[in-house]
Amino acid sequence: IALQRDDPKAALKLLLSKKTPDPVSSSGPSNSTASDSEINSSVRQDSLISKLYNDFIYGDILASVEEHPCNAFKHKSFLNRLHNPHTDVETLGKVIKLESILDQFAITVQNLRRNSQKLAGQQAAYDALFEKAMAAQSKVEQMKTQVQQPGLGIQECNNNIAKWEAEIQSFRAEIANREQKILEEKNKRSKIEEAVAATTQESIREAAKEGISHFSAAAVIKEEIKSLEDAIKIQSVEVGLIKDHYADFKSKCLP
């Protein structure tokens, strides 16, 4: 095996010398056919081993797969030919390892190419959209500039709005001041009304008391007046009677 790996030509020559039948000792056509078949199998196996080391061990098959991923199928097909009874266990282990590396690398390269293509497409789409966005932004800035031009009267409107808003703030301050004064005057009025009400109630009570006192005194006087009126009536009658009696007396006294 070591000779096959290091010097395939010498190994092939040695195999041919060992497998070549001796014409004198040859026993017949059947033995010659069997020997030829064994020699051919050995030569094919040595050729496969030689290619394995030259291309896969000493060479770089991954470079060809990276350049053309479809080459992986060709390399896998070759490695599959080494799955035969003539391949020793150590070499078969290397073949299986190479198949695993080849499969993994081929899948990775395919994914890399697919993602690279997608990236190129996405980048192109991004560039196109970004260009449109920048164009739209430029248009917006241009429109803003046009809107803010003094000739459109917008600046004048803004100035008026700012002026009137300032006046409104001033008016609000004045209104707040007046409202505070109104509140103070209302409180003052309430206190005066309370004082006046308290004074008025007291005056009413005093006047009522005085009225009651006067009414009581008047009632007493009223009784006296009634008594005097009754006395005067009686006395008036008495005066009349006395006058009548005096007249009658004088008439009787005349001759």
pLDDT tens-digit series, residues 96-111: 999 999 989 989 988 9
User: Quick one: pLDDT band at residue 224, thresholds 50, 70, 90?
Assistant: confident
Residue, of 118 and 246, whose pLDDT is higher: 118
**Do 13 and 52 meet the contact criterion of CB atoms below 8 Å apart?**
no
At residue 18, the pLDDT reads 44
Dihedral sign, CA of 144, 148, 153, 159?
positive
Structure tokens at 196: 């006046």
Residue-wise pLDDT for 85-96, tens only, equals 999 999 999 999
Q: Exposed, middle or buried, 244 (CB in 10 Å: 0-12/13-18/19+)?
A: exposed
Residue, of 20 and 234, whose pLDDT is higher: 234
Q: What is the DSSP letter of 16?
A: H
Cα gap 25→232, rounded to integer Å: 207
User: Quick one: pLDDT band at residue 182, thresholds 50, 70, 90?
Assistant: very high
User: Quick one: pLDDT band at residue 150, thresholds 50, 70, 90?
Assistant: low
Structure tokens at 210: 């005085």
**Do 39 and 15 meet the contact criterion of CB atoms below 8 Å apart?**
yes
Q: Reply yes or no on whether the pLDDT at 78 is more than 70.
A: yes
Residue-wise pLDDT for 29-76, tens only, equals 555 565 777 778 888 988 999 999 998 989 888 998 988 888 899 999
Q: Reply yes or no on whether the pLDDT at 12 is more than 90.
A: no
Report the mean per-residue pLDDT for the chain.
Answer: 80
Q: Reply yes or no on whether the pLDDT at 26 is more than 50.
A: no
Instruction: Look up the pTM and report it.
Output: 0.40
Q: Exposed, middle or buried, 4 (CB in 10 Å: 0-12/13-18/19+)?
A: buried
Q: CA nearest 84: which of 32, 46, 136? A: 46
User: Quick one: pLDDT band at residue 77, thresholds 50, 70, 90?
Assistant: very high
- SS3 for 45-63 is HHHHHHHHHHHHHCCCHHH
* Lowest mean pLDDT segment, chosen from 11-25, 60-74, 143-157, 193-207: 11-25
**Mean pLDDT value of segment 181-185:** 90
CA angle, 30 then 31 then 32, to 5°: 90
Which residue ranges make up each domain of the chain? 2-129
Residue 84, by phi and psi: left (phi above 0), alpha (psi -120 to 50) or beta? beta
Cα gap 73→5, rounded to integer Å: 24
Q: What is the dihedral of CA 178, 184, 190, 193, to 10 degrees?
A: -90
Structure tokens at 115: 């993602």
**Mean pLDDT value of segment 217-241:** 85
**Mean pLDDT value of segment 200-206:** 80
Q: Reply yes or no on whether the pLDDT at 159 is more than 70.
A: yes
